[in-house]
């Protein structure tokens, strides 16, 4: 049984399965094989397109998705920073500016046109200074998305270099607990 299986693997070459044909391959076998390979390539191409479509960059925050009842954690902020840079490479850069005392990476974003003058004014935006007052980060992400997707016109960033630090107090932001974040009645953490 094992020998017949192995010999079937040699079907296209000069192995034992083709010894009776003098080691040659039947043209119909090659044609059939070619059709199968083309079908496989077409399916792989379609799957790649579907995967690319389903992996579209999502820039909506947890705050927006929850109707502003919840807020995202630091991992969402890092993902959004990097995703904005991927989706708008000519306008957004995402960079780290160090580590917190608890070892978390701190991120900031630069938003500007590539054509901007080197001496253009710089606008500094920072959010997340106080751990329980974190909605500024979500509001700025929403505003940035609307500006960059041209849903907010005229562009308030035009002619400016914008530096945005989504979470200044990153360790405080990530400290969830009864005494770390007093919450309003409707706030879900």
Residue 81 belongs to a domain: yes
Q: Are residues 97 and 161 in the same domain?
A: yes
Are residues 145 and 91 located together in one domain of the fold? yes
Beta carbons within 8 Å of 62's beta carbon, 6+ residues apart: 70, 71, 72, 76, 138
Residue in 167, 116, 174, 121 with CA at minimum distance from that of residue 140: 167
DSSP state, 156?
T
Structural domain of 32: 2-54
Residue 187 belongs to a domain = no
Say whether both 108 and 153 belong to one domain.
Answer: yes
pLDDT digits (tens, 9 = 90+) for 56-71: 688 999 999 999 888 8
- 38 lies in the same domain as 110: no
Clarify whether residues 41 and 125 are in a common domain. Answer: no
**What dihedral angle (degrees, nearest 10) is formed by the CA atoms of 85, 89, 94, 95?**
150
For 115-160, the pLDDT digits (tens) are 888 889 999 999 988 877 778 899 999 999 999 999 988 988 889 9
Q: Which two tokens stand for residue 175?
A: 């400290």
Per-residue pLDDT tens digits for 41-58: 555 565 555 444 434 688
Whether 183 is in a domain gets the answer no
Same domain flag for 66 and 50: no
Total-model pTM: 0.65
């Amino acid at each position: 049984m094992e020998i017949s299986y192995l010999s079937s693997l040699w079907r296209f070459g000069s192995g034992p399965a083709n010894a009776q044909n003098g080691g040659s391959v039947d043209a119909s076998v090659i044609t059939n094989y070619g059709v199968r390979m083309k079908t496989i390539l077409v399916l792989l191409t379609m799957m790649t397109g579907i995967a690319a479509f389903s992996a579209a960059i999502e820039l909506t925050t947890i705050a927006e998705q929850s109707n502003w009842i919840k807020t995202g954690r630091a991992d969402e902020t890092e993902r959004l920073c990097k995703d904005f840079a991927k989706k708008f490479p000519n306008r957004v850069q995402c960079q780290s500016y160090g580590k917190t005392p608890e070892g978390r990476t701190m991120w900031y974003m630069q938003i500007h046109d590539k054509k901007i003058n080197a001496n253009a004014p710089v606008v500094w935006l920072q959010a997340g200074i106080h751990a329980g007052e974190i909605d500024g980060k979500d509001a700025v992400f929403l505003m940035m998305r609307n500006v960059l997707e041209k849903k907010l016109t005229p562009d308030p960033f035009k002619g400016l270099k914008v530096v945005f630090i989504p979470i200044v107090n990153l360790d405080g932001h990530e400290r969830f607990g009864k005494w770390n974040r007093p919450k309003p009645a409707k706030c879900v953490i």
